[in-house]
Amino acid sequence: MTATRIGVGGAEPYEVVVGGGVLGELPSLLGDKVRTVGLVHPVTLPEIAGRVEAALREAGYRVIPLPVPDGEQAKSVQVAAELWSALGQNGVTRSDAVVGVGGGATTDLAGFVAATWLRGVKVVLVPTTLLAMVDAAVGGKTGINTPEGKNLVGAFHPPAGVLCDLETLATVPPADYVAGLAEVIKGGFIADPEILALVEKDPEGARTPEGRHTRELIERKIRVKAEVVGADLRESGLREILNYGHTLGHAIERVEDYRMRHGEAVAIGMVFAAALSHLDGRVGPELVERTRSILTAVGLPVRYRRDAWPRLREHMRVDKKNRGATARFVVLDDVAKPSRLVNPSEELLEAAFEAVAG
């Protein structure tokens, strides 16, 4: 399978390499000046991490395996501190690198540790889940969680490269794969309607790594992300559109103590955002129904507990997209026409939540 190379522009351009069996490309992304590599990976991925470690050692790198907890549990200051200590104890210098292998939580953590170690060392990301390939690993946003919220501590630190080996998707549990589809579908609503058409054409196929449109869906979503972050690394304007569905989604994750999958929470958040767009007079009710229909067809949730609204609203007030006391929501003026809604009334927000309350 020929590899596809998708360029991400900006002050520090890099490539996202997509294809099957492309782990051999890793040394070319690291470069020949790196001598030591800290290999961050979940304890639950020993086989894939072992393959990456073998490829690195064969290319002549000294490798420090750095296993971390799986999922969001890894994104804590305690785990980050343990990794900083390991890098220090193993003499990792500014000319060395970190490689992050795993899902979005692992790539977020690896990027953050690389951004903060010696004020910034090279990082190459090897996402192994659909969510990480199409979203978390692309864009240079890194972060860890705090008790007050998700990704509130972080840094902008573009990777030297991203390697998406589609063969690793075979290891992703079906429910996790479907959850990753939420970010793909989000890309369709904010920028590329063809993504929505492909999912609607074959929703069953979209649910699996073997689907006939899988590679096209992945590459289309990566191109959406690459175009946006290449123009706006630090989320000062355009990049904010990538948060469509995330304001309520992140709040749901907090209420669930991160036990709900990110994509599932974002799916509910997209229905809420579509309803907010409709109730603000920007779009018709058909956008809300299309959102529900597409998400339901691939097996994603579209409703959440009605009694959770007070807690959700409190968490939304600490959202990182807010500016001071100004609340900001990404909404749609049409498919592929994202916009912002600033300081909506409490009545409008409550009415929009009725669209997902169950």
Residue 163 lies in a domain: yes
Q: Of 15, 25, 219, 235, which one is the catalytic site residue? A: 235
Q: Are 161 and 29 in contact (CB under 8 A)?
A: yes
CATH number at residue 337: 1.20.1090.10
Provide the angle, in degrees to the nearest 10, between the axes of the packed helices 174-190 and 193-201.
140
Last residue of a domain, one of 117, 137, 171: 171
Instruction: Give the domain range for residue 165.
Output: 4-171
pLDDT tens, position by position, 258-274? 899 999 999 999 999 99
- pLDDT digits over 36-74, tens only? 999 999 999 999 999 999 999 999 999 999 999 998 899
Q: Is 122 annotated as a binding residue?
A: no
**214 known ligand binder:** no
Q: Judge if 193 and 332 occupy the same domain.
A: yes
Output the pLDDT for position 29.
Answer: 94
Res 116 pLDDT > 90: yes
| Interval 235-257 mean pLDDT | 89
Q: Are residues 92 and 240 in the same domain?
A: no
Active site residue 157: no
Residue 95 and residue 113 in one domain: yes
Asked if 225 is an active-site residue, the reply is yes
First to last CA, the chain: 45
Q: Is residue 290 part of a domain?
A: yes
Residue 316 domain-assigned (yes or no): yes
Interval 147-173 mean pLDDT: 92
User: pLDDT tens for residues 274-323?
Assistant: 999 999 999 999 999 999 999 999 999 999 999 999 999 999 987 655 55
Pair (275, 241) in one structural domain: yes
Mean pLDDT score, 4-22: 93
Structure tokens at 88: 């220090």
- What CATH number should be reported for the domain holding residue 124? 3.40.50.1970
- In terms of domains, do 275 and 142 share one? no
Instruction: Give the per-residue pLDDT at 34.
Output: 96
Q: Is 250 a catalytic residue?
A: yes
- Position 93 in a domain: yes
Q: In terms of domains, do 274 and 165 share one?
A: no
Q: Report how many domains make up the chain.
A: 2
Together in a domain, 162 and 210: no
State the catalytic residue, choosing from 243, 254, 264, 278: 243
Residue 205: pLDDT above 80? yes
**pLDDT, averaged across the chain:** 94
β-pairing, 161-165 vs 14-19, is parallel
Residue 213 labelled as part of a binding site: no
Say how far apart CA 257 and CA 209 lie, in whole Å.
28
Distance of CA 236 to the CA centre of its chain: 18
- Is residue 235 part of the annotated active site? The answer reads yes
- State yes or no: is 183 an active-site residue: yes
Give yes or no for a contact between 19 and 133, defined as CB atoms under 8 angstroms apart: no
Query: In the prediction, which pLDDT does 136 show?
Result: 87
Together in a domain, 74 and 200: no
Q: Is 262 annotated as a binding residue?
A: yes
38 is in an annotated binding site: no
Of the three residues 111, 142, 171, the one that is the final residue of a domain is: 171
Q: How far is CA 126 from each of CA 35, 123, 291, rounded to the nearest angstrom?
A: 19, 10, 31
Active-site residue flag, 262:
yes
Q: What's the pLDDT at 262?
A: 92
292 shares a domain with 149: no
305 & 330 share domain:
yes
What average pLDDT does the segment 23-35 reach?
92
Same domain, 257 and 311: yes
Is 168 annotated among the ligand-binding residues? yes
Where among 114, 139, 171 does a domain terminate?
171
Question: Which of 262, 278, 292, 315 does the annotation list as catalytic?
Answer: 262
Average pLDDT for 13-19: 95
Question: Which element (helix H / strand E) includes 122?
Answer: strand 122-127
The mean pLDDT of 153-165, rounded to a whole number, is: 96
Active-site hit among 41, 207, 221, 246: 246
Q: Is 296 annotated to bind ligand? A: no
Question: Angle at which helices 246-255 and 262-279 pack, to 10 degrees?
Answer: 130
Is 221 part of any known ligand binding site?
A: no
Active site residue 213: no
3-class DSSP state of 152:
strand
Look at residue 358 and tell me if it is in a domain: no
pTM of this structure: 0.92
Active-site residue among 141, 220, 221, 278?
Answer: 141
Any domain includes 334: yes
Q: Which of 76-90, 128-142, 148-162 has the highest mean pLDDT?
A: 76-90
150-173 average pLDDT score: 94
Asked whether residue 167 falls in the same domain as residue 181, the answer is no
**Residue 130 belongs to a domain:** yes
Query: Which of 143-152, 189-198, 203-212, 327-336 has the lowest average pLDDT?
Result: 143-152
Per-residue pLDDT tens digits for 228-245: 888 766 666 778 899 999
Q: Which residue has the tokens 């000046």?
A: 33
Q: Is residue 34 part of a domain?
A: yes
Task: Output the pLDDT for position 41.
Answer: 98
